[in-house]
Structure 1
Amino acid sequence: MTVTLAWLPARLVERTEQTTTARTLVFAVPGWPGHLPGQHVDVRLTADDGYQAVRSYSLAAPADDDRLELGVQPVPDGEVSPYLADQLPPDAEVEMRGPLGNWFVWQPEQTQSALLVAGGSGVVPLVAMIRAHHAAGSPSLFQLIYSVRTPEDIWYREDLTSAGPHFHSQIIHTRRTPQGDSTRAPGRITTADLEQATTRLEPQSPVYVCGPTGFVETASDLLTELLDKQGIDPTTIRTERFG
């Protein structure tokens, strides 16, 4: 039986800058049923003339009563993202429907180590997992490999440096590295970037990959080869893509 999710009013209560363009938006959504780290929502805007536009956005934090945190990266000439990121007034309302997506999720009762691989704004649902992992005091190993163009493009910098002793992150810069950092030349993700992290995985460890379609396809292919060499079933790889 197909369950139809209701559209709920969502009031903007906070907007935070992540990068020069990216924003975190917090909404109050009365009647929200809760969600799992990794899930997303549909957001609907309705113009004065009745025209409606719907887009999907990942949730950046675990369930917190009726408060939802979204990560928004404006798309040039987009109908929805530029308005949400910079123009939606405080206390204004949009509509939301969800939670959506039951495959790309992490739950505190999972005990296996996990590998998270993100490209750009694809880190948003993974940050929800990282925050949930930290809040639960989980002893399982969490590893994040995060690909960004430049140091200024890193989202959730504070969360990535204060997520506890069982969390490790590695930043890959594709266009420009931090000044004085000569450990890795700028460039796209490679087998060498992923290899050490995969050796720490267990046979049933989940691997989450999120980002633009091209990034996800490349990272998934590299991971499939590495896991296969180690005798780990590549079906543990879960992907979420956009663009």
Structure 2
Amino acid sequence: MRIAWRTARLVERHAQTATARSLVFTVPGWPGHLPGQHVDVRLTADDGYQAVRSYSLAAPADGDRIELGVQAVPDGEVSPYLADELPPGADVEVRGPLGNWFLWRSEQTDPVLLVAGGSGVVPLAAMIRAHRRAGSSSSFHLLYSVRSPDDVWYHDDLADADPLLDARIVHTRQTPPGSTRAPGRVTRADLDHPASWLKPAGPVYVCGPTGFVESVSDLLVGLGRDPATIRTERFG
């Protein structure tokens, strides 16, 4: 069935980093969505020119409200406008929810490993928030790779005293004071501990740039993970 475009009105904008924003829209008639899904956003210029981009949903379903995570890309056609120029009260069009593979459902009870690179944390944040809202008893383990401490999204969610969320941040270029890990990309050693909590068929969700996703997936397979348990979402 073809999914229709719906009008979405911007109601809130929150800074996550110097270039990343959370955008909250109201979408009349929104059918709901599952953590891990995304939407297409369509902008139409006065001359009729249209541009469409995909953005992950950053929060679980909440009536007619949806939250998107937008990283402004230098010289980008859409993301800088959404991130900083679209005024509150303005409308865009959205189509969704989309994606039926990269999902976490509240009835899942096995421990979960989430691995994010940069803005790839957005759909994983939706899973973390949904997990917390559902009162799930399953444990979540997040390995989050960023360039520097200034590039971390969702500080409040990751700082919450949640005994079922084990979150570790890996810095690739600049580490915070007191860090015992040298800056660098995610390694097998970084994945070894959180992967050890998984059951043989336990799910892993990896999201980020294509090179990051491929590297992490290869490392996980090298640790003995069944490729069928590794679900990926990539961009770039």
What range is the shorter-chain TM-score in?
A: over 0.9
AA aligned to 2:93 is E
For residue 174 of structure 1, the aligned residue among 162, 172, 175 is 172
For residue 77 of structure 1, the aligned residue among 53, 75, 78 is 75
AA aligned to 2:44 is T
Question: What is the rounded CA distance, in whole Å, between the counterparts of 1:37 and 1:131 in structure 2?
Answer: 9
Task: Tell me the CA shift for residue 221 of structure 1.
Answer: 0.4
For residue 233 of structure 1, the aligned residue among 203, 226, 233 is 226
Paired position in structure 1 for 2:199:
202
Q: Encode CA deviations 1:26-67: one digit per residue, 9 max, x unaligned.
A: 000001000000000000000000000000000000000000
Task: Tell me the CA shift for residue 179 of structure 1.
Answer: 1.6
Paired position in structure 2 for 1:105:
103
For residue 215 of structure 1, the aligned residue among 209, 212, 217 is 212
Q: Encode CA deviations 1:74-123: one digit per residue, 9 max, x unaligned.
A: 11111110000000011000000000000000010001110000000000
For residue 147 of structure 1, the aligned residue among 134, 145, 148 is 145
Check if 1:123 corresponds to 2:121. Answer: yes
For residue 191 of structure 1, the aligned residue among 188, 193, 196 is 188
AA aligned to 1:143 is H
Question: What is the rounded CA distance, in whole Å, between the counterparts of 2:88 and 2:161 in structure 1?
Answer: 30
Paired position in structure 2 for 1:28:
26
Cα contact 1:130–1:163 (8 A) shared by 2: no
Question: What is the rounded CA distance, in whole Å, between the counterparts of 1:145 and 1:55 in structure 2?
Answer: 27
Alignment TM-score, normalising by the size of structure 1: 0.96
Alignment TM-score, normalising by the size of structure 2: 0.99
Q: 1:163–1:36: structure 2 CA closer, same or farther, 3 Å change rule?
A: farther
Task: Tell me the CA shift for residue 145 of structure 1.
Answer: 0.1
Question: What is the rounded CA distance, in whole Å, between the counterparts of 1:163 and 1:223 in structure 2?
Answer: 28
Check if 1:90 corresponds to 2:88. Answer: yes
Paired position in structure 1 for 2:235:
242
- SS of 1:122's equivalent in the other structure is helix
Percent identity of equivalent pairs: 72
- SS of 1:99's equivalent in the other structure is strand
Question: What is the rounded CA distance, in whole Å, between the counterparts of 1:140 and 1:149 in structure 2?
Answer: 29
Q: Cα RMSD (Å) of the superposition?
A: 0.8
Task: Tell me the CA shift for residue 234 of structure 1.
Answer: 2.4
Paired position in structure 1 for 2:162:
164
Q: 1:28–1:163: structure 2 CA closer, same or farther, 3 Å change rule?
A: farther
Structure 2: 5+ residue runs without aligned partners?
A: none
Equivalent pairs counted in the alignment come to: 236
Task: Tell me the CA shift for residue 163 of structure 1.
Answer: 6.0
Cα contact 1:22–1:85 (8 A) shared by 2: yes
Task: Tell me the CA shift for residue 188 of structure 1.
Answer: 0.5
